[in-house]
Amino acid sequence: MLDNYKDYNDPISLLELLKKGDAVALETIFRLYYDKLLHLSKNYLTYEADAEEIVQNVFLKLWEQRDKLKNISSINSYIYIMTKNSCMDYLKHEKVKRGYLDQNLQNKSAINYQFLKDEAASLLLENELEQKILESAELLPEKCKEVFMKNKMEGLKRAEIAQELGISLKTVDNHISKAVKHMRLHLRDFLTLFL
């Protein structure tokens, strides 16, 4: 038993155990490096939720590709490089996406300018947007929807929501962040009309 304990404390043995598919080794690596990798990711990315997703994906890839770690001698360097590369890939993808959206936005804006001049059409669009927001909110997980509605529809502050629902501020922030991402995705056609 003591030998196994030593194996989990030695980075080289830990890497060897991971290569063999030892789930405890992965958990140990996760506990040792998660906060450090999250800090690294936050230096690259704007939103904490994106940084968390990147780091979680790094550990998922590490586990899924453990049989390809034969030539790796330092777990520390390897996962730092994986994290940095994942952040860079994410940023490149976002840049391409923004470029596409910017061009698409310009095209839509030119078309929509005339449409928005008509007051009746604007009222119709406003009603349609309100309906779309409610439909999109219904697709959210129950707790996430409840937090979103209390914040955006009822105007409650984050602390008030946390107290009322008996959850932490961080949980409230995570629900709001998830809901906003969801809404941006589901309302993207409407959002371009008002930008």
pTM: 0.48
Tell which wins on pLDDT, 127 or 16. Answer: 16
Residue with tokens 């453990």: 66
Mean of the per-residue pLDDT values of the chain:
82
CB atoms within 10 A of CB 132: 15
Residue 3 has pLDDT above 60, yes or no: no
pLDDT digits (tens, 9 = 90+) for 101-130: 667 666 666 666 655 556 555 667 677 878
Task: Note the CATH number of domain 118-194.
Answer: 1.10.10.10
How confident is the model over 30-51, as a mean pLDDT?
Answer: 91
Q: What is the b/e burial string over 110-130, where b = at least 16 CB atoms within 10 angstroms of the residue's CB?
A: eebeeeeeeeeeeeebeeebe
CA-to-CA distance for 164 and 153, rounded, in angstroms? 15
Please work out, in degrees rounded to the nearest 5, the angle formed at the alpha carbon of residue 41 by the alpha carbons of 37 and 46.
Answer: 155
Q: Which fold has domain 2-90?
A: Rna Polymerase Sigma Factor; Chain: A (1.10.1740)
pLDDT given for residue 2 in this prediction? 35
pLDDT in tens, 175-193: 999 998 988 888 777 665 4
pLDDT at res. 6: 46
- In terms of C-beta density within 10 A (0-12 exposed, 13-18 middle, 19 or more buried), how is residue 75 classed? buried
Buried/exposed 133-142: b ≥16 CB within 10 Å, e otherwise: beebbeebee
Tell me, what DSSP letter sits at residue 11?
H
- Domain edges within the chain: 2-90, 118-194
Nearest Cα residue to 69 out of 83, 57, 79, 80 = 79
Looking at residue 159, its pLDDT comes to: 93
Q: Which of 20-24, 49-53, 120-124, 184-188 has the lowest mean pLDDT?
A: 120-124
CB-based burial, 82-101: b 16+ in 10 Å, e otherwise:
bbbebbeebeeeeeeeeeee
